Chain A
Amino acid sequence: MAKRDRQSIDEMMFLKGSAAIAELVSRVGPGVVAAYPITPQTGIIEYLAKLKISGQADYSFLQAESEHSALSMVLGAAAAGALSYTATSSQGMLHMIEIVYNLAGLRLPVVMTCANRSISAPINIWNDHQDAMAVRDAGWLMFFAENNQEAIEQHWLAFALSQQLNLPVMVNVDGFRLTHASEPVAMPSEKLISKIVKQRVKNLLEVNNPKTIGHFTMPIDYETQRLSLGQTIADSLVAIEKKYFELMKIWQPIKKELSGIKTIDKNDLATVEYYGPNKAKTVIVAMGSIVGELKDLADKTNKEIADSLAILKIKLYRPFPEQDVIKYLKNAQRVIVIDRAPGLGSQPPLFTDISSVTSHQVNARLVSLIIGLGGNVQLTELEKILK
């Protein structure tokens, strides 16, 4: 591993997605990293472990005996005031799921990468969103990254937001499609990152002032706390948008100089990005790396017939950005919602979110499409519908 005086510079790097995320996390400077390996997340924690072993990082790195233990360690560390991080996928997420719920209920600031992978049985290691969807109601903030650049910016934002709001934040990154893809990224320096991320969080637990958190609660109190958590999460939209713009304000000029990547435009928010003509007849709603292919498809389609297709990328999935979604869908005649999870037993999850917020507010005809379960991403059915 190259010597780490590099952390002090903003620079273009060529990295695998998992390495890019780990590099960003190491530059944030967490106090505790506890994890258990699972494909396709392993690259992230191996990179963090290598840094620790070679003396280039000083976080406590704990390999737990399971994901359930890993997240428990992270919970304890966060309660004691340490900046804590972990990563998982698929079965690992399910293994730690009771702690996932605990963290939100306790309002602890933790950041987790979910390298999205399908859920058994049967066993499949490739990418879809079933793991994220299994915990969408747990009370975490949830981001979905389109590419590795967005992944690292969302992790940076996640650390800042978790501290500010005292809520756990999950950044979803498509397994293999992003984690194992090598591409250029603009990487902010430690110094720049620290402008909006502190290295310690307010500790809930103190040795000299012992107390119990998350204890047994009677019905009225439980319900009050639960609904209050829901309200906090819903209200966080304002803070999220504000922090995003604060981050972009210090980062965009540097990023543009490093990479030539376009500056922020008015349709690229913390919550969503709208790509394409304003009056597009069809809008496709989607999350994650598949948006890359969809943007190419939109360009191609609009060349043939102008104003025919736009893409609404959902970046912040929880809390669900109702107002922004309505704003960008209200002119469409047809909305095609692409889900990367089936929602067995009912409509798929993103489709249910979209149809519930748009009923009575948006006139478009809604179409649901499930694409790419178990990594089988094919756009043929979508292209057929579009013709």
Chain B
Amino acid sequence: MSDLEFFSNFPVSIKLVGLGGQGVVTAAAILARAAFQQGLWSQSMPFFGVERTGTPVEAYIKIGRQPIRDRQKIDQPDILLINDVKLFNRKQLGKFLTIVNQPEQQIVNQRIGYDSRQVSLDILGKDLAIGLLGGLAAVWPQISQEAWLRALKEHFTNQVLFEINTQAFQANFSLVEKLTKYQNGQAR
């Protein structure tokens, strides 16, 4: 296991990609909402091709201490989260961190791969991008647990949905935390 370097600057740009139906837009909105709950300014912009299940969807989340005015895509985001390994391209990585939902667990430089799908299928019955947020939270502690939970509660007004999505989030968090041997920003 290599030592993951922490990225703690603001503003930060995060790109989340997946296929239609994997909840990319929802996850991006929750991430941006969590940053807002943390007292930061955030913006979530989804981009899709044809509006149907199965086609690639990407969302850009920009977070900073000042209002963000730009609404463009970013060529190389600071953090890249990929919910479907079919969309992974080793020539296109996040500048500081990449997390890939893939069957094999591995850490290569600043790239983490782990099986988020298995966790999400168990809890949610679907391979949803919300899992990757849990993984992100484990290695990017800029947003507190309380902020994450408030964001999940605000977004999922249905109690059952809130519970299972939070479960999936926490399960992914624990998995990546163990994998990377980090806890609350400190190396164990």
Contact = CB atoms under 8 A, between A and B. Distances in A.
The answer to whether A binds B is yes
A292 interface: yes
A14 B32 contact: yes
Contacts of A180: 45-46
Band of interface residues on A: 20 to 34
A1 interface: yes
Given A1-B157, A2-B157, A184-B41, A14 B33 contact: yes
Interface stretch (B2-10, B69-77, B112-120, B169-177): B69-77
Interface string B63-103: 00001111110000000000000000000000000000000
Contacts of A377: 72
B42 interface: yes
B43 A182 contact: yes
A293 B71 contact: yes
B45 A181 contact: yes
A54 B43 CA distance: 29
Contacts of A2: 154, 157
Contacts of B128: none
A181 B41 CA distance: 13
Nearest to A290: B71
Contacts of B42: 14, 182-184
B36 interface: yes
B29 A16 contact: yes
Contacts of A177: 45, 71
- Residue among B37, B44, B69 with the highest chain A CB neighbour number at 10 A: B69
Nearest to A184: B36
Interface in A99-130: 125
Given A181-B45, A182-B44, A183-B42, A296 B70 contact: yes
Contacts of A292: 69-71
A295 B69 contact: yes
A291 B72 CA distance: 12
Contact of A181 (B44, B51, B154): B44
Interface string A1-36: 110000000000010100000000000000000000
Given A14-B36, A184-B42, A39 B71 contact: no
Nearest to B30: A182
**Chain B: interface size category:** 20 to 34
A367 to B, nearest CB: 22
Interface secondary structure of B, over-half rule: mixed
B29 A182 contact: yes
A110 B72 CA distance: 33
B40 to A, nearest CB: 9
A387 B29 CA distance: 37
Contact of A183 (B37, B43, B51, B72): B43
Nearest to A182: B44
B70 A181 contact: no
B71 A181 contact: yes
A386 interface: no
Interface string B49-63: 001000000000000
A14 B69 CA distance: 16
Interface string A250-278: 00000000000100000000000000000
Contacts of B36: 14, 184
Contacts of B37: 14
Nearest to B35: A14
Contacts of A352: none
Contacts of A296: 69-70
A232 interface: no
A125 to B, nearest CB: 8
A183 B61 CA distance: 10
Given A2-B157, A39-B51, A182 B69 contact: no
Given A1-B157, A2-B157, A177-B45, A182 B71 contact: no
B38 to A, nearest CB: 11
Nearest to B32: A182
Nearest to A126: B47
Contacts of A295: 69
Given A14-B33, A14-B36, A184-B42, A289 B67 contact: no
Contacts of B32: 14, 182-183
A162 interface: no
Contacts of B72: 293, 377, 379
A170 B172 CA distance: 46
A355 interface: no
Nearest to A14: B36
Contacts of B29: 16, 182
A147 interface: yes
Contacts of A125: 51
16 contacts: A14-B33, A176-B47, A177-B45, A180-B46, A181-B45, A182-B33, A182-B42, A183-B32, A183-B43, A183-B44, A184-B42, A261-B67, A292-B71, A293-B69, A295-B69, A377-B72
Given A14-B154, A177-B45, 14 more contacts: A1-B157, A39-B51, A147-B69, A176-B45, A176-B47, A180-B46, A181-B43, A184-B36, A184-B42, A292-B70, A293-B69, A295-B69, A296-B69, A296-B70
